[in-house]
Every structure is written in C-alpha cells, then in structure tokens.
C-alpha cells in the first residue's frame, strides 16, 4: 500500500521504517533526517533491526498515495492537514497522542479518517537512525466505532509489513483509555524528570492514578464506558511495559519543545468544564506544564 508518513519523528520513522519493508513509503520529515535517509537509508535499531530505503521529503505538499499516516504532535495537526489537503489520499490514519486530532483532519481533508493508537517504543537517536525501544502494537479502526472495509485493508497492509495490528470496532473507547494512560504518565514523568516506571510507586503513583481516574470519570460523562479501575490498570500496565522509557512529554521538556499538554490533560479539563465536573489533578498538571512552556517562550 503506497503510504505517506507525515511527521517522521520517533514514532513516524519507526512505523514508516517497518512499513517500508513491504510497501512503498514516503517520509515527510525534517531536513537533516531527510538528507541522511536519502544518502544512507533509514536504520531501525533494537528489536526490529532493519535498514530500508523509503523516499523522503521535507515538502508535504501535492503528495499522492493510498494512505497518509499522521504522526505529528497534536499542536501541529492543523498545519499538517492544510498541507495534506494540497495532495490526494484514499485514507488518512491518525497515530497521535491526545484527543481531537481526527476532528481536525476530518474538517480539512476529503479522505476518510481512521483513528489509531500505537504503543511501540521509539526514539529517533540521530538523523536516519530510529531505535525500537519496545515492541507494542497498532490498533486502528473507524473513528466513530464500528467496522469498515477500509480499516480492514489498512490493517492487512500493516500486518503484512510485520507490525502487530488489531482492527477494532471500539476506537472511541480505546482513544479515551489511551488518553487516561497518557494523562497519568506523561505530565508526572515530565514534571518530575523520571522514567515511566516511576509512576508505579511513591508519590508519583498517587498523582498519576488521580489524573487517570479523573480522565475515566470524564470519559463516562461522555458516554464512554471505562471504569476507574480499568483505566488505572491500563496505565499501570503501560508504565510497567515501558518502565525504562522516557515519555514523549518528558522528551519534549528535555528538548525544550512545546508539549502535547493541551490535547491530553488540557482536553480532560476542557471536557470536565463543559460537563460541570471537577478535574483538579488534571487542572494542576496542565497549569504547571503550561507555566513551564510560557517561561520557556513556547506559548
Ligand atoms: O504514549 C506514551 C507517551 O510517551 O506519549 C506512553 C504510553 C506514556 C509511553 O511512553
């Protein structure tokens, strides 16, 4: 399946690299990464070791492919969608953190938009080299739930390349569960500068569990059935599976980049406000991260 990966940072390079084993892939990425991939190929190290030769470009305009996989940061989804709208795709798949990305894509693109989650650990070590730091899976499906032939076709293409893939008919619930996991792990690890496993014990555990529990409560108020226990179990499972990893928000803070706080804990606070609910832990961590972003000149 001819695929464009828009936003080939850590996760995008890993997914694009694995897809390139069986499919025609174009990476849209930063200049230094593009140059190295063109000269020396894309090297995947760690679990899924391989070197592949996808096409690579810095210019995402006027591209045509069967599938566009979106892996940009949530804050960059609008500009990614506007750029992609100059090209032509049969389907678009969001593999991003946070909520609201699919709506942003649907509003600006004609192609059907699928929702997805990816739990592979990925770190872009240097231009042209991405490490797979943990095997995971990709779950994808229609963004409103249910099934579609398109989702099946994309799922088959991913599986054929060796990505562990599930086509799901309950994406709204899965996106909320991922949000609850990220709402617990990401801000706590970023603010405390600790690896994901630190949220399994001590004061970090109380804070992460509270943020996750609040997220599950807001999900239920949005008619998505997810108990607090289920959400906390999911958060603890991910923290244990990725114990030594650096969360994406901690990576952003360390690199002095704007984080995805608005689409994660900020989203929970917004939905809670609309529904007349309290989300004090999410509110607090959102304020702290936004304060850091402001102090760093990022917002
Ligand atoms: O998705 C993640 C992230 O870092 O954004 C988790 C699940 C926390 C894994 O690191």
- Protein residue with least CA distance to atom 1, ligand 1: 182
Residue 171 has pLDDT above 90, yes or no: yes
> What is the C-alpha separation between 117 and 96, in angstroms, rounded?
7
Shared domain check, 212 and 155: no
Q: CA 191, 194, 196 angle in degrees (round to 5)? A: 105
Shared domain check, 133 and 60: yes
How confident is the model over 232-278, as pLDDT tens digits?
999 999 999 999 999 999 999 999 999 999 999 999 999 999 999 99
Ligand 1 center to 3 CA (angstroms): 24
As a residue count, the chain comes to 299
Which domain range does residue 122 map to?
Answer: 3-169
Q: How many Å from the N-terminal Cα to the C-terminal Cα in the chain?
A: 39
Catalytic residue among 73, 178, 217, 283: 178
How confident is the model over 178-227, as pLDDT tens digits?
999 999 999 999 999 999 999 999 999 999 999 999 999 999 999 999 99
How confident is the model over 64-113, as pLDDT tens digits?
999 999 999 999 999 999 999 999 999 999 999 999 999 999 999 999 99
The atom of ligand 1 lying closest to the CA of 260 is 5
Domain count, the chain: 2
Domain containing residue 144: CATH number: 3.40.50.720
Domain containing residue 259: CATH number: 1.10.1040.10
Shared domain check, 272 and 228: yes
Shared domain check, 254 and 187: yes
19: confidence class by pLDDT, cuts 50, 70, 90: very high
pLDDT at 134: 87
The pTM score is 0.93
Complex ipTM value:
0.96
The atom of ligand 1 lying closest to the CA of 245 is 10
């Amino acid at each position: 399946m001819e695929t464009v990966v828009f936003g080939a940072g850590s996760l995008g390079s890993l997914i694009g690299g694995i897809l390139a084993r069986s499919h025609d892939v174009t990476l849209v990425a930063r200049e230094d990464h593009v140059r190295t991939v063109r000269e020396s190929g894309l090297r995947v190290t760690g679990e899924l070791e391989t070197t592949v030769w996808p096409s690579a470009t810095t210019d995402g305009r006027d591209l045509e492919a069967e599938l566009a996989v979106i892996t940009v940061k949530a804050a960059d989804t609008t500009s990614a969608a506007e750029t992609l709208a100059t090209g032509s795709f049969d389907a678009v798949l969001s593999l991003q953190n946070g909520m609201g990305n699919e709506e942003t894509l649907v509003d600006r693109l004609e192609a059907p938009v699928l929702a997805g989650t990816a739990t592979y650990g990925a770190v872009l070590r240097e231009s042209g080299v991405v490490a797979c730091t943990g095997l995971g899976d990709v779950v994808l499906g229609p963004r409103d739930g249910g099934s579609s032939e398109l989702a099946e076709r994309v799922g088959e293409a991913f599986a054929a390349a060796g990505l562990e893939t599930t086509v799901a008919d309950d994406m709204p619930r899965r996106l909320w569960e991922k949000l609850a996991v990220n709402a617990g792990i990401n801000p706590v690890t970023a603010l405390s500068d600790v690896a994901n496993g630190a949220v399994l014990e001590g004061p970090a555990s109380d804070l992460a569990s509270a943020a996750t529990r609040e997220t599950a409560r807001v999900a239920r108020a949005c008619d998505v059935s997810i108990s607090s226990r289920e959400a906390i179990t999911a958060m603890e499972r991910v923290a244990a599976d990725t114990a030594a990893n650096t969360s994406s928000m901690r990576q952003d803070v360390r690199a002095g980049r704007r984080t995805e706080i608005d689409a994660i804990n900020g989203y929970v606070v917004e939905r809670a406000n609309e529904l007349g609910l309290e989300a004090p832990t999410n509110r607090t961590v959102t304020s702290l991260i936004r304060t850091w972003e402001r102090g760093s000149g990022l917002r």
